[in-house]
Amino acid sequence: MIKIFKTFGGYNEIPSTDKGCWINIANPNKEEIERLSSDFHLPDDIIQDILDPDERSRIEFDDDWTLIIMRIPVKGNNHGVPFYTVPLGIFITDDFTLTLCIQDNEVLAINIVSPFREHYKEISDVVNFILRLFLLSGSVYLLYLKQINKMTSLIEQDLEKSIKNRELNELLKMEKCLVYFITSIKANEIVLAKLRNSKKVTTEINEDLLEDALIENKQAREMAQIYSDIQSGMMDAFASVISNNLNVVMKQLTLISIILMIPTLIASIFGMNVPNFMEKSYWALPSIILVSLLLSVLGVILFRRRHWF
């Protein structure tokens, strides 16, 4: 979907490009991708880079344009992983600023009229607009990290009584999310540092806004690192828990087999085709059953006293 706004605030949507406008594109179809090169004159290699889901964060300068690629968090189902990151490209020329992402996201949601409504008056130029994106990206990272933490807590509760690997696999997917986040946030911090020190940036940078963006990304990175370290330890611990739970089940099944073996042994002895003193007794069958039950109960009591049951 393509939306064109007159300003970075996103208040006024216009039908065609205008001087200083902002073009926001998310989850483009084939026709919209072709329009990127025909109408907006983006180089084909840049389009391919931004639409590559594995493209790294970077900043690139040219005589006529500037390209910034940052990685932002998205929610979805990427091979079973609920959260991952994708590139968001910011293509800047003298005539317009274009943001392009391969799928819908919460950093620049295509269905929201103004993602910066509360900060509309503070966005005066494209550099501060980019800093807003980094700041908003850090906030979304923190939001998704809290959701990952909640999902991990639910998986932990199931793992405590599990004897299968399903919950452990779910925990591994959460670990993959954190690895994606840590790698992407570190790359974004490098881009922010290059943007701050670049001689190509002639516009005065809002230092307070830059500091907020750096702090937000640093907080997200540290939180993701903490969660990742905790989960790495938990996965080793819960692997032992699953093995221990399985051992407990096997021990209980073995004890049940021993208890059931007692009446089976007695019935086998008295069922042999050899003479004994009870073959003509009326009370033979009830007595054998009673003795079998008593010995089984005695076995259960003995096992419980030893805390085997």
| 161-178 tens-digit pLDDT | 655 667 777 888 888 899
CATH architecture of 2-244: 2-Layer Sandwich (3.30)
Determine what percent of the chain is predicted with pLDDT higher than 70. Answer: 83
pLDDT at position 120 over 50: no
What pLDDT does 70 receive?
92
Q: What is the DSSP string of 236-290?
A: HHHHHHHHHHHHHHHHHHHHHHHHHHHHHHHHHHHTSSS--TTTT-TTHHHHHHH
Collapsing DSSP to helix, strand or coil, 82 comes out as strand
pLDDT at position 257 over 60: yes
Q: What is the pLDDT of residues 164-218, one digit of tens each?
A: 667 777 888 888 899 999 999 999 999 888 888 877 666 677 788 888 889 999 9
Query: Which of 110-114, 230-234, 278-282 bottoms out in mean pLDDT, i.e. has the lowest?
Result: 110-114
Domain boundaries, the chain: 2-244, 252-305
Alpha carbons 146 and 101: distance in angstroms, whole number: 24
What pLDDT does 154 receive?
83
Give me the sign of the Cα torsion angle 81, 83, 85, 88: positive
What pLDDT does 254 receive?
82
What's the pTM value of the predicted model, to 2 decimals? 0.75
What pLDDT does 209 receive?
83
pLDDT at position 233 over 70: yes
Instruction: Give the residue among 136, 134, 130, 143 at the shortest CA–CA distance from 118.
Output: 136
